[in-house]
């Protein structure tokens, strides 16, 4: 499988702080980069996604920054809240290929302390 | 819609026994994916189906693992014989054929092999 490398493995942030999670990919053909959020006992759920034709996408407190030349992208969570405590997975895929499988990073466990 | 339904939620079995995990995808979704989650390896893609046909099983760890999708509303993942290193959470996910709409994951089956 083409790899997606994610860091850090775990992250502790104070309430109101900024959480930053980074990912790097290898396959330059990838053209879709989502982030999934997983709460304990649940399956991952789509949080936000970006395509490589833009360098940034923002939805509320969540922002993806994308650097095509470096083959890296990151998730920024502004004003982090205790309810954001979860495991976050970055992923990569080919957008226009039906049934294409997402390749996930290993995940980052985020704890937001109150 | 009840979402992706996986059964059982928890399974404890003895080494050497056969284990069958079940998944009912969302009606109308034509792609189905099996992932395995462990702390060490994160979310690993095992196999995926498109229109009930297996597309890529390169992630299946060895011949002890097999998966079937006899129809659009049911899939199984079988491990025979099971080993302690197979202990993990197994997720089934379905999608409508293009990743942009996201995967819907089930709640997973936590497998413990003793």
The b-or-e profile of B46-84 (16+ CB within 10 A means b, else e) is: bbbbbebeebbeebbeeeebebebeebeebebebeebee
CB within 8 Å: A95 and B98: yes
Contact between B84 and B15 (Cβ < 8 Å): yes
What confidence category does residue B100 fall into, taking pLDDT thresholds of 50, 70 and 90?
A: confident
CB within 8 Å: A46 and B97: no
* pLDDT per residue as tens digits for the range A69-91: 999 999 999 999 999 999 999 99
Q: Give me the pLDDT at residue B102, please.
A: 82
**Which residues of chain A lie closer than 8 angstroms to B41, CB-CB?**
106
**Which residues of chain A lie closer than 8 angstroms to B99, CB-CB?**
32, 34, 93, 95, 100, 102
| pLDDT over 90 percentage in chain A | 81
Q: Give me the pLDDT at residue B13, please.
A: 97
**Which residues of chain A lie closer than 8 angstroms to B59, CB-CB?**
1
User: How far apart are alpha carbons B95 and A11 in whole angstroms?
Assistant: 30
Q: What is the mean pLDDT of residues B88-109?
A: 88
Q: What is the mean pLDDT of residues B26-45?
A: 93
Question: Mind telling me how many Å the CA of B81 is from chain A's nearest CA?
Answer: 25
Closest CA relative to residue A75, chosen from A89, A93, A86? A89
Model confidence at A99: pLDDT above 70: no
Q: Does B99 touch chain A (CB under 8 A)?
A: yes
User: How far apart are alpha carbons B13 and B78 in whole angstroms?
Assistant: 13
What confidence category does residue A38 fall into, taking pLDDT thresholds of 50, 70 and 90?
A: very high
Among B9, B31, B43, B110, which would you mutate to test the A interface (most chain A Cβ atoms within 10 Å of its Cβ)?
Answer: B43
Model confidence at A24: pLDDT above 90: yes
Q: Does B110 touch chain A (CB under 8 A)?
A: no
What confidence category does residue B4 fall into, taking pLDDT thresholds of 50, 70 and 90?
A: very high
Which position has the higher pLDDT, A56 or A99?
A: A56
Model confidence at B1: pLDDT above 90: no
Among A6, A38, A43, which would you mutate to test the B interface (most chain B Cβ atoms within 10 Å of its Cβ)?
Answer: A43
Q: What is the mean pLDDT of residues B61-80?
A: 95
Q: What is the mean pLDDT of residues A6-12?
A: 96
């Amino acid at each position: 499988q083409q790899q997606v490398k994610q860091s850090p493995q775990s992250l502790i942030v104070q309430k109101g702080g900024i959480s930053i999670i980074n990912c790097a990919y290898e396959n330059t053909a990838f053209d879709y980069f989502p982030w999934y959020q997983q709460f304990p006992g649940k399956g991952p759920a789509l949080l936000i996604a970006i395509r490589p034709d833009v360098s940034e996408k923002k939805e509320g407190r969540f922002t993806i920054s994308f650097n095509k030349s470096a083959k890296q992208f990151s998730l920024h969570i502004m004003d982090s809240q205790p309810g954001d405590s979860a495991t976050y997975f970055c992923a990569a895929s080919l957008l226009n290929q039906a049934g294409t499988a997402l390749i996930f990073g290993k995940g980052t466990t985020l704890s937001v302390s109150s | 819609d009840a979402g992706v339904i996986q059964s059982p939620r928890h399974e404890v079995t003895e080494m050497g026994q056969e284990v069958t995990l079940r998944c009912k995808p969302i009606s109308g979704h034509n792609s189905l994916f099996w992932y395995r989650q462990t702390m060490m390896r994160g979310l690993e893609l095992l196999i995926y189906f498109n229109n009930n046909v297996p597309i890529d099983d390169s992630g299946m760890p060895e011949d002890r693992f097999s998966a079937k999708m006899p129809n659009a509303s049911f899939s199984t993942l079988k491990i025979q014989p099971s080993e302690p290193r197979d202990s993990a959470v197994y997720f089934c996910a379905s999608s409508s054929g293009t990743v942009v709409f996201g995967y819907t994951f089930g709640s997973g089956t936590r497998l413990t092999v003793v």
